[in-house]
Amino acid sequence: MVSLRKGTALDAAGAYAICRSGDAITIAIAGPVKSGKTTLISSIHQGFLFSPVRELKFKRSHTMVGFEEKCFNSRVESGADTPSTPRTSYSAGVEYYHLRVKDSKTSSSPHLVLLDMSGEYFDRAINSRQDALHLQCLRAVDFVSFLLDGAKLADATTMQKVYSDATLLLRRLLEEKIISRDSRVQMLVTKVDMLCKEPKTSEVEKVVGEVARRFERFGDQLHLEFHAVAASPAVGRPFPQRFGIPDLLRIWTENEKKAATRPGPLLIRSSRLIDRLPAVWLRDKYALVGGEK
């Protein structure tokens, strides 16, 4: 018998093999538990099943089984009455999803590598410096897309905590030099259909502007971008499925030719495997103190 590629989410070595090709864009989907990370990743795959996403067409994926598993609970085939998404477990560590697209406008064919990890990593990083060090892999990515739960922002009892947690996390990541002014950090308002009556540009921009105002304090330290999505809008809301996802894909793929310049290799001192992943994944950017062991 001949073993075939598993098709499930990749580990760091598998992602590194793709990144080595040189035209890969790495995106960390970051955010607390239940903020919509899995829904976002699955909706990117689901979108290509029905049509090209604007000028982007599906070219290849090494993680079709993984994507399908993430989509399953939102499908009629699951037998469920209500869409849900399987929760990414803390013990799974960092998982990588691969999608190669062809841009018919520019003829480029970038690999998108989406980094997924349990929201618990982010929740714990808020409280503990040691836990924040588990997020070192965010240093190596082209985009950190940090999710803000729109449903919680729409609720007065939970809104302040969303802002508070996000602010604490950004501060922690800055203090640990995991993100910096060179990083492209996107603040993504998910479930924006819970904040706007209609998908009108003016309404969405108003919401995004209000969210951006809450993060003005980081103006000197970070270049933050703000966007809004509704990957799976609530029934009855006049939002199309995967609202905002095409714009997000456009931004990520346009990055191909203008990826931010980065400093020389950063040294990783930790002996824990998860902290050492960047050195496996992007050897030109990270190195282990004392060399590889």
Binding residues for another protein restricted to 152-211, rule: CB under 8 A: 191, 194
Lookup result for tokens 């989509």: 71
CA dihedral 32, 38, 39, 42 (to 10 degrees): 160
Residue nearer to another protein on the CB measure, 197 or 223: 197
93 interacts with another protein by CB under 8 A: no
Part of the chain binding another protein (CB under 8 A), chosen from 4-12, 16-24, 121-129, 243-251: 4-12
Tell me how far, at minimum, the Cβ of 33 lies from another protein, in Å: 8
Extract the tokens encoding 164: 């508070």
Give 208-214's long-range contacts (Cβ < 8 A, gap of 24+).
211/148, 211/153, 211/187, 212/187, 214/163, 214/167
Dihedral of CA atoms 99, 100, 104, 106 in degrees, nearest 10, equals 120
CB 97 within 8 A of CB 66: yes
Question: Whose CA is closest to 69, among 90, 41, 48?
Answer: 41
* 92 makes contact with another protein (CB under 8 A): no
- Per rule CB under 8 A, is residue 50 in the interface with another protein? yes
Any contact of residue 60 with another protein (CB under 8 A)? yes
Nearest distance from C-beta of residue 229 to another protein, angstroms: 13
Q: Tokens at residue 73, please? A: 């609970």
Residue 54: CB minimum distance to another protein, A: 12
Among 31, 199, 233, 246, binds another protein (CB under 8 A): 233
Nearer to another protein, 69 or 123 (CB): 69
Site membership for another protein, residue 289 (CB under 8 A): no
Query: Which residue of 10, 12, 41, 71 would you call a contact of another protein, by CB under 8 A?
Result: 71
Scanning residues 102 to 161, which ones bind another protein (CB under 8 A)? Answer: 102, 109, 151
Answer for the pair 171, 178: CB distance below 8 angstroms, yes or no: no
Could you say whether residue 78 binds another protein (CB under 8 A)? yes
| Residue 46 interacting with another protein (CB under 8 A) | yes
Stretch that binds another protein, among 21-29, 202-210, 227-235, 258-266 (CB under 8 A): 227-235
Please answer whether residues 276 and 288 qualify as being in contact, where contact means their C-beta atoms are separated by less than 8 angstroms: yes
Give the nearer residue to another protein in terms of CB position, either 58 or 163: 58
Concatenated DSSP letters of 151-218: HHHTSHHHHHHHHHHHHHHHHHHHHTTSS-TTS-EEEEEE-GGGT-SS--HHHHHHHHHHHHHTTGGG
Contact positions toward another protein, by CB under 8 A?
A: 1-7, 33-34, 38-39, 46, 48-52, 57-61, 64-65, 67-69, 71-87, 101-102, 109, 151, 191, 194, 232-236, 241
